[in-house]
């Protein structure tokens, strides 16, 4: 469904400056836009199916997953986003965005749905009321040896990950907080609030790879 599938589109294909969307229904949209622009992406806000159709990758921000779910349905975006994920669109979800990418949600509200795509079970608000938010540094071998600063805000954790899911980071107690499966990337935490750019760079690598493959 992406214009890049044919290697043609009215915005042209420039693998060095990919056009990426930030789902802008609710949540910390601006922080993602800032990091993506800093990394050289052409960033657009996605609120309508036509905007989704114009992008080569999508970021789903943190916020409140039950609200993003409801709004995505009322904006007619749920089905197009599911179709885009099925067709291989690279997507990066942080926090609520990770929940939206999970095939299974633990402790969702009544009737809560996700887009799915990642073969994981994610537990919402996994740190309970005692520790609502915290910052830590994570070891993420896929991003090099320098620790990754990570801000957790009413964060989820990955409770189960299928065989096809690559675990990118765990807390010191072993709980999974970053995963990748094909072009889908998800983190329980917000790298963007600490100015950390490496997860977004990893996402943009997947976008550039796909754009390059389509153009070849
Ligand atoms: N607790 C939120 C949810 O369930 C996620 C919080 C966040 O995105 N920072 O969607």
Give how far Cα 144 sits from Cα of 139, 148, 182, Å: 9, 9, 20
Q: How far apart are the two ends of the chain, measured CA to CA in Å?
A: 18
Annotated catalytic residue 190: yes
Give the distance from CA 158 to its chain's centroid: 14
Give the pLDDT confidence of 135-186 residue by residue, as tens digits. Answer: 999 999 999 999 999 999 999 999 999 999 999 999 999 999 999 999 999 9
Q: How confident is the model at residue 214 (pLDDT cuts 50, 70, 90)?
A: confident
Q: What pTM value is reported for the model?
A: 0.92
* Ligand 1 atom having least distance to the Cα of 65: 10
- What pLDDT is recorded for position 212? 87
Average pLDDT over residues 200-212: 95
Please check whether residue 192 is in contact with residue 200, taking contact to mean a CB–CB distance below 8 angstroms.
yes
Q: Is pLDDT above 60 for 202?
A: yes
Rounded Cα distance between 154 and 128, Å, is 8
The model's confidence at residue 38, banded by pLDDT at 50, 70 and 90, is very high
Tell me the C-alpha to C-alpha distance, in Å, between residue 204 and each of 41, 90, 162, 210: 8, 8, 24, 10
Q: Which of 31, 33, 56, 95 is labelled catalytic?
A: 95
Between strands 118-123 and 157-161, the pairing is antiparallel
Average pLDDT over residues 40-57: 97
State the pLDDT at residue 130. Answer: 61
Task: Report whether pLDDT(8) > 80.
Answer: no
For domain 19-215, which CATH number applies: 3.40.50.880, 3.40.50.620, 3.40.50.2300, 1.10.645.10?
3.40.50.880
> What is the C-alpha to C-alpha distance for residues 85 and 91, in angstroms, rounded to an integer?
7
Cα-to-centroid distance, 56 and ligand 1 (Å): 25
Per-domain residue ranges for the chain? 19-215
Nearest CA to ligand 1 atom 8: 62
Ligand 1 atom with the smallest distance to the CA of 124 is 4
Determine which one of 31, 32, 56, 190 is catalytic: 190
């Amino acid at each position: 469904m992406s214009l890049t599938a044919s290697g043609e589109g009215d915005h042209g294909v420039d693998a060095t400056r990919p056009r990426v969307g930030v789902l802008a229904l609710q949540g910390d949209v601006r922080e993602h836009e800032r990091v993506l622009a800093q990394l050289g992406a052409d960033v657009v806000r996605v609120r309508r199916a036509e905007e989704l159709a114009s992008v080569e990758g999508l970021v789903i921000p943190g916020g409140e997953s039950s609200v993003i779910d409801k709004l995505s349905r009322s904006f007619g975006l749920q089905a197009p986003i599911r179709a885009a994920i099925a067709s291989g669109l690279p997507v990066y979800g942080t926090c609520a965005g990770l929940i939206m990418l999970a095939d299974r949600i633990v402790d969702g509200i009544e009737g809560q749905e996700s887009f799915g795509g990642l073969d994981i079970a994610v537990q919402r608000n996994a740190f309970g009321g005692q520790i609502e938010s915290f910052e830590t540094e994570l070891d993420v071998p896929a991003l090099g040896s320098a620790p990754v600063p990570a801000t957790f805000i009413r964060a989820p954790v990955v409770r189960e990950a299928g065989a096809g899911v690559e675990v990118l980071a765990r807390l010191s107690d072993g709980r999974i907080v970053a995963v990748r499966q094909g072009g889908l990337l998800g983190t329980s935490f917000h790298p963007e609030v600490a100015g950390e750019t490496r997860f977004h760079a990893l996402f943009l690598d997947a976008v550039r790879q796909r754009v390059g493959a389509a153009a070849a």
